[in-house]
Copies of this chain bind each other. A is one copy, B any other.
Amino acid sequence: MLEQEVTSLKRKLIEYAALVEKMIDKSIKGLLNKDKNLFFEVRDKDEPRANDFEIELEDLCTVIIAKYQPAAKDLRTIMRVSQMNNDLERLADLAVNIVESGLILVEKPPLKPLIDIPHMARIASKMVKDSIDSFTNEDPILAKDVCKRDQTIDDLKDQVMRELITYMMSDVSSIERAFQLIRIANSLERIGDLATNICEDVIYIVEGKTIKHGKAE
């Protein structure tokens, strides 16, 4: 039955999302604790699994549509699940980006001011968690709340950038490390964007309204 297939598709997406959420958390934890093992886990064990998930889910979406030829409403849900699948892959890539910067940073003496990066990381990670919860529980109120947090993380990133640039200027030997921190701040900001994308899809699936690009239609 179509309904069962859509339910199992959603379950698979939630499983994938749980993996990606863990990847992000591990990449951040690895950074805060200078734990190379967590970095290797994300890069060498989780990332290939994430890629397999994405391919499997893409295939599943197509198979369900071909088999059940769902009506517009279900079809739109499946198409959004396919978009979310794509966003999860991008989130996994961002976790790997953080890991790559982390692996460079871990070899160097610590740069005192991680500044607001741990704070950004906490917000980003919570946004991802809540975006997935909002999908699991079909909770548009939580989804809308996540969308609102995106501005906070954008503002934090701008502040982190300004501070790191000032820091680079005052201490030339910090440039390379500061640069990796900037890369991490960028990744965290994009993680927030993607969590927002997922929430927009959840709102669409539950309420049938498109709020992409900040415009309702």
Q: List residues of A whose CB falls within 8 A of some B CB.
A: 51, 54-55, 58, 61-63, 65-66, 69-72, 75-76, 79, 82-83, 86, 165, 168-169, 172, 175-176, 179, 182, 186, 210, 212-213, 215, 217
Contact = CB atoms under 8 A, between A and B. Distances in A.
A176 B54 CA distance: 38
A213 B169 CA distance: 39
A82 B76 CA distance: 12
Work out how many copies of this chain go into the complex. 2
A44 B172 CA distance: 37
State the majority secondary structure of interface residues on A: helix
Contact of A182 (B51, B75, B179, B213): B179
Contacts of A69: 69
A127 B202 CA distance: 34
B76 A217 contact: no
